[in-house]
Amino acid sequence: GQEREIIPAKDMYSSKHGVDDMVMLSSVSDGSINDNLKKRYNADVIYTYIGHVLISVNPFKEIKGLYEDRTLKDYKGKFRYELPPHVYALADDMYRSMLSERENQCVIISGESGAGKTEASKKIMQFVAAVSGSSPAVQHVKDVILESNPILEAFGNAKTIRNNNSSRFGKYMEIQFAISGDPEGGRINNYLLEKSRVVFQQSGERNFHIFYQLLQGADSGMQSELAITGPDYFHYLNQGNCYTVEHVNDVQEFQEMRHAMNTVGMDANEQAEIFRTLMAILYCGNITFRSNGKEGSEVADPQVVDMLAHLIQSNSQSCTKSLCYRTISTGTQGKSARVSSYNCPNSVEAADYTRDAFAKALYSRLFDYIIGRVNQALGWANDAQCITLGILDIYGFEIFDKNGFEQFCINYVNEKLQQIFIQLTLKAEQEEYSAEGIPWEHIDFFNNKICCDLIESKKPVGLLALLDDTCNFPKGDDPKFLQKIVETHTGHAHLAAAPGSAEFVIRHYAGEVTYYCMGFVDKNKDLLNNDLIDLAHCTNSWLLQALFPEAKTSSDKRRPTTAGFKIKESINQLTAALEMCHPHYIRCIKPNDRKQANNYNNGMCEHQVKYLGLLENVRVRRAGYAYRQFYDKFFYRYRVCSSQTWPSWSGDHQSAAEAIISVLGVERGAYIKGRTKIFIRAPETLFALEELRERKVYIYANQIQSFFMRFSMQNYYYTIQLTGNQKMQGQKERRRLSLERPFKGDYIGYRENFPLKAIVEANGREKLAFGDRINKYHPGLKKARAVLLLTAGAVYCITIDKNKDKDKLARAKKPWIYLCERRVPLQNLRGLTLTNSADNFVAIHVTGDFDLLVETRRKTEFMATLLKYAPSVSIQFSDNMQVNLKKGKPVPIIAVRDPKGAIGVLKSKKILVAPGLDRNTQPNLQPPAAVPTVTIDPYSAARSGAQSGGGITGGRGGPGSANVRGGSPSLTRGGVRGAPGGGSAPRGGAAPRGAPGGPGPARGAPRGGPGGPGRGAPRGRAAPRGAPGY
C-alpha cells in the first residue's frame, strides 16, 4: 500500500503562520512572542495558545469562515490539539470538563478596551447554546442567554475613542447546567456601570447605544407620544458631537433589541415604560438654570420641565422644587425628637449637580432593573446537583488623557483580575511543585499584590479607605484626600503624589496612570438627594416607583455605603466566586488604537505582551507539567485503560497510576510522581490517555447496549419481519437465505461510523432505522458501490469516492470519502417497485424527480422498515419495471429467468436471475418469548470487598464517573464482565480516535478499497485508509 507521510513532531505544533502554541517557540522572549502573534495576525490567524491560555488578537474585521456553523461543528467534541487554536476549542474544553469532572468552570477574559473581550464572551455563549439540548424548556433558557446580548449591549455599551462597542460595565454570567449538559438557568451579576457617561461624553464619543437606537428606531406613534427628535437637540447626547457609528445601523439594532425584550418576557407596556424613562433622562438633561437674583436658582425654560413631568407622570411643580431646592432636617431623632425641616435653595451649580445626579441614578437603576428582568427570565435553581459555567467580561484597563474616579475603579478591578491570573498560573503552580517535592528552578515574575494592597489594604491604610475617611468628615474634599495620600504613602514604590497638586500617579501592572483627583470625594459619596427620591414616589409611573423602593419605606438613618466600598465588596465576592471554579483564560490583545484591520502596531502589542505576563507564562509552562491530579482521582478516572487495573486492582493508588501510564509506552521523563499527585509533562500524553479511556468506555458501553438490545428489540424486528414477508407473499419468489435471515437494521456499524453520522446529522437529529452497503446504478446502468440509509425523515444514497483534495497530506490521511448523492425526504417518495423474481433489485420512485435503482440483499427489511415510517408508500411487483434514471423517458428493466443468473445480473436492461422458491413460501416466524429480569444489588461487591479486607475491586467512581461501586456484576450469554465505573459513552455519540470503524471487508471488495477494512474513525472525522467505516 501507499506509505503515509510522516509529520515531524515539531510541525505538529507549528505552521507557515507561526507556532500554534507558543510553548513550542524555539527561542523565548517578549520579542519572539510578539513576532509570532504578528505573523499569525497578518495571515488572519488571530488565536494562539500558551498551554491552556488562549491569546486572541482583535482583527477589526470579519474573517471568512472563522465562526460559521460548519466551524462550530468541527470543534465540537475535539481535543485541543486536533484543530488549530480557537475560542470554540476553549468553549468545548470548558463544557466537556464541566460534565466529565462535575466541576464548576469559568473563563476570565481580560485585555484593554477594544481588544475583543465582549466578542469572545458572545462566541462562548453561542457555542454552548449550539452543543446543548433542544427541549422546549432548554431552548427557552438558551434563547434568553443569547438574546440577553442585544439588550445588555444596548443599555451597557457605547462608542468610545478606542472602541465602537465598548462595554461600559462588567458582567459575570453564570449558566446552570443539569448533569445531562443542558442549561437549566443562569444569572448575571453586573459591576461598575459608567454612570457618568449618561451626563457627559468626550469629543468623538457617544452616550449609551440605547438612546440613539430609540431616537432612530421609534415609530411615528412613539415619536409623538414621547416627543422624540434628533440627537443633536439633547444636551446629554450632543457634547461628544458624535451621533453615528461606522457600519452600525441603529434602526436595525433597535428592532433586534425589542425582539430580545420580547424573548425575555417584557410586554409592550413594560417596554413603553422603559422608553418613556429613557426620554425623561434626555429631557432632564435639557433643563437649564439661572440665578433668581437671590442665593437660589430657577428653571430657565419651564416648558422643558413640563415635558419631563409628562414623561415621568408627575407635575411640573414637584419637578421644579426637587431640582431647585433641597430639604435640610435639623434636630435629634428618637421618641421625643424635635426635627425641623427647611427648604434651602440650590445655587445654579448645585441645581446642575442635582439634575445630573437624578439622571445618573435613574439610568443606573433602570439598568439594574433590566438585569433583574433578564435574570428572572433565566431562572436560578437552588439545586446542589447543578453545575455552572461562568463567563467574566469586564471592561479592560484604561488610560485616558484625563483619568478620574471611574478609571481608578476600573483599573483597580483589572489589578485584582491580574492578581488572580498570577496566583493561579504562576505563583500557585510553582508553590505546588515545591510542596509535592518536584525538582524546580524558580522563575521570577512581577507579583502585583503590592499594587492591590496600595488600593484596598486596611493596614497600612489603602487609597479606598483614605477616600472613605475623607468622605466621612463634614469638610472632607478632594484636596484633603490628596493630602492624606501624601502623608500616608510618601515613598511608596508604586505611587507618586506631590503636596498641593491635583494629581497622583499609580504604577499599575499595565503602566503608569495619572489620576486627576477632583471629583473623587463627591463620586465616592454617591448620595442621592431625598427630594429626588420623594419625586419618584409622587409619580404615577409604576416603573419609577419600582426603581426607587426606598421612597415607600421609613428613612434609614444608617450612614450609606460609599461607591468605593461597594466596588471592593462586589469584587471580593466575584473573586470568591471565581476561586470556586476551575479557571480558563482568554488574554485579548488590541493590535492598534485606530480600530483598523490589517494594522499591527509592534510597540503597542509588545507593551501588552509584557504587562500581561505572557513571557513568564510561557517559561513556567515550558518548565512545568501540563497536568496534575491526586492519585486516587487519577485511578478512578483512568483505571479502565489498563488490564492491570481493570476490572480489579489490589495495590495502592500510586502504583496503579504508574501501571495506567505504562499502557501508553511513554518514556519515564514524560511524567513524575509527587507526594500526593501524579504530574504529566506534555498535554499530548493526557490527550492520548483520554482517547484510550473514551475508546475503552465506548467499546464496553456498546457491548453492553448490544447485549440488552438483543432482547429489547426482539418485538420490533419480529413486527418488521412479519410486515415484510406478508408483503412479499404471493408476489415475489424467495431465496432460502432471504427467508431465514435475521433482521438487525444496522449493517454498516453506523453507531461508530462518524463520517456517515456527520452527513445525516447535518440535516438534524434523524435516527437511523436501516443502513446497508448496496450497488447503485447510474443512468447508463453502470454499477457503483454506495450506502443506503433510511432514517425517520429521509432516504439517503451515499457514494464512496476517491479524495481529490489538492493537499497531498489530506489525501494520504483520507484516501476515500463519503459523498451524499441523494437525500429524498420520505414525503417525496412515490413508491417502490420490485420484480416478481428472486433478485435483489429495487426501484425507488421519487415524486417530481428521477428514480433510484439499487441492488440490496436486504430488500425485504428495507421495504418493511420504510413502511413503518411511511405507511402510504406504494409497493409494486412486476418483472417489467419502469425506471426513470434521468429526466426523460423511463427505462424498462425486465427480469428474465436464467439458471446461470444466480441472484441476478443486470445486462442490457435485463436482469438475468435463477428461479427461486415459490412465491407463497413463508418463514416460520414465532413471537419472541418474554425475557425474565433479575434485580442485582450493585453495592454487593463493594460490601463483600470491604468485609474481606481485600484490595480495590472495581472501586468508586471518581469525578466524571458513573459513581458505581465495585463495578457491574459479570454478564453471561455474550455480555461483558464488569462495566467501566469511569464514565459512559462519549457525548453526542462521537467515538474516540481509533474506535472500531465497523464490520470487516465486504464480500468481493479489494483490501484497502471501498468496502475494505476500516482502521477506526477518529473523533468526528472520516475514517482513514480503507473505505470509511467499512
Residues 426, 663: Cα–Cα separation, whole Å:
31
Residues 359, 104: Cα–Cα separation, whole Å:
39
Are 421 and 585 in contact by the 8 Å Cβ rule? The answer is yes
Of the candidates 236, 337, 228, the one whose C-alpha atom is nearest the C-alpha of residue 287 is 236
State the DSSP string of 646-659.
Answer: SSEE-S-HHHHHHH
Please state the separation of Cα 404 from the chain's center in Å.
35
Are 121 and 172 in contact by the 8 Å Cβ rule? The answer is no
Residues 245, 211: Cα–Cα separation, whole Å:
13
Under DSSP, the state recorded for 1004 is T
Per-residue model confidence (pLDDT) at position 932: 63
Are 1016 and 1022 in contact by the 8 Å Cβ rule? The answer is no
What amino acid occupies position 256?
E
3-state secondary structure of 398: coil
What amino acid occupies position 924?
N
| Cell numbers for 931 | 425475557
3-state secondary structure of 4: coil
Q: Of how many residues is the chain composed?
A: 1030
Per-residue model confidence (pLDDT) at position 209: 97
Question: Cis ω on the peptide bond leading into residue 474 (within 30° of 0)?
Answer: no
Q: 300-320 burial, b for 16+ CB within 10 Å, e for fewer? A: eeeebbbbbbbbbbbebebbb
Are 284 and 355 in contact by the 8 Å Cβ rule? The answer is yes
Per-residue model confidence (pLDDT) at position 559: 67
3-state percent helix, strand, coil for the chain, nearest multiple of 5 = 40, 20, 40
3-state secondary structure of 698: helix
Residues 6, 20: Cα–Cα separation, whole Å:
19
Are 1001 and 1016 in contact by the 8 Å Cβ rule? The answer is no
Per-residue model confidence (pLDDT) at position 998: 36
Point out the residues of the chain with pLDDT beneath 70. 1-16, 81, 329-339, 425-428, 440-445, 551-559, 626, 710, 810, 813, 888, 930-1030
Per-residue model confidence (pLDDT) at position 801: 84
Are 101 and 630 in contact by the 8 Å Cβ rule? The answer is no
What amino acid occupies position 428?
A
Q: Which residues contact 13 (CB under 8 A, 6 or more apart)?
A: 19, 20, 21, 24
| Cell numbers for 884 | 426513470
Are 998 and 1014 in contact by the 8 Å Cβ rule? The answer is yes
3-state secondary structure of 817: strand
| Cell numbers for 1010 | 471501498
**From edge to edge, which strands make up the β-sheet containing 170-177?**
47-50, 53-57, 582-589, 105-110, 387-393, 170-177, 183-191
Residues 147, 169: Cα–Cα separation, whole Å:
18
3-state secondary structure of 496: strand
Dmax over CA atoms of the chain, in Å, equals 122
Please state the separation of Cα 410 from the chain's center in Å.
26
Question: 981-1003: per-residue pLDDT in tens?
Answer: 333 333 333 333 333 333 333 33
Q: Which residues contact 706 (CB under 8 A, 6 or more apart)?
A: none
Q: Which residues contact 898 (CB under 8 A, 6 or more apart)?
A: 912, 913, 914
Please state the separation of Cα 383 from the chain's center in Å.
22
Are 189 and 195 in contact by the 8 Å Cβ rule? The answer is no
State the Cα angle at 342 between 336 and 346, rounded to 5°: 150
Per-residue model confidence (pLDDT) at position 271: 96
3-state secondary structure of 1019: coil
Give Cα separations from 567 to 97, 184, 317, 679, 735 (angstroms). Answer: 32, 30, 36, 39, 82
How many Cα atoms occupy the beta-carbon half-sphere of 176 within 13 Å? 17
State the burial class of residue 116 (Cβ atoms within 10 Å of its Cβ: 0-12, 13-18, 19+): buried
Residues 330, 966: Cα–Cα separation, whole Å:
76
Residues 849, 795: Cα–Cα separation, whole Å:
14
Per-residue model confidence (pLDDT) at position 526: 80
**From edge to edge, which strands make up the β-sheet containing 511-516?**
495-497, 503-508, 511-516
Helix 714-728 to helix 683-712 angle, to the nearest 10 degrees? Answer: 60
Of the candidates 264, 216, 546, 541, the one whose C-alpha atom is nearest the C-alpha of residue 379 is 264
Residues 293, 129: Cα–Cα separation, whole Å:
63
**Rg of the chain over CA atoms, in angstroms?**
36
Are 230 and 215 in contact by the 8 Å Cβ rule? The answer is yes
Neighbours of 583 (CB within 10 A): 20
Residues 239, 384: Cα–Cα separation, whole Å:
51
Are 193 and 391 in contact by the 8 Å Cβ rule? The answer is no
3-state secondary structure of 107: strand
Residues with a catalytic annotation lie at 113-114, 118, 163, 166-167, 396, 398
Report the first-to-last Cα separation within the chain, whole angstroms: 18
Are 518 and 341 in contact by the 8 Å Cβ rule? The answer is no
Beta strands in 740-838 (DSSP E): 768-777, 783-791, 794-802, 816-825, 829-834
SS3 for 28-80, per residue? CCHHHHHHHHHHHHHCCCCEEEECCEEEEECCCCCCCCCCCHHHHHHHCCCCH
Are 74 and 1020 in contact by the 8 Å Cβ rule? The answer is yes
Are 591 and 640 in contact by the 8 Å Cβ rule? The answer is no
Are 1030 and 785 in contact by the 8 Å Cβ rule? The answer is no
SS3 for 165-190, per residue? CEECCEEEEEEEECCCCCEEEEEEEE
Of the candidates 884, 707, 664, 853, the one whose C-alpha atom is nearest the C-alpha of residue 776 is 853
Strands 874-877 and 829-834: parallel
Per-residue model confidence (pLDDT) at position 558: 61
Question: 100-140: per-residue pLDDT in tens?
Answer: 888 999 999 988 888 999 999 999 999 999 988 878 888 99
| Cell numbers for 812 | 494520504
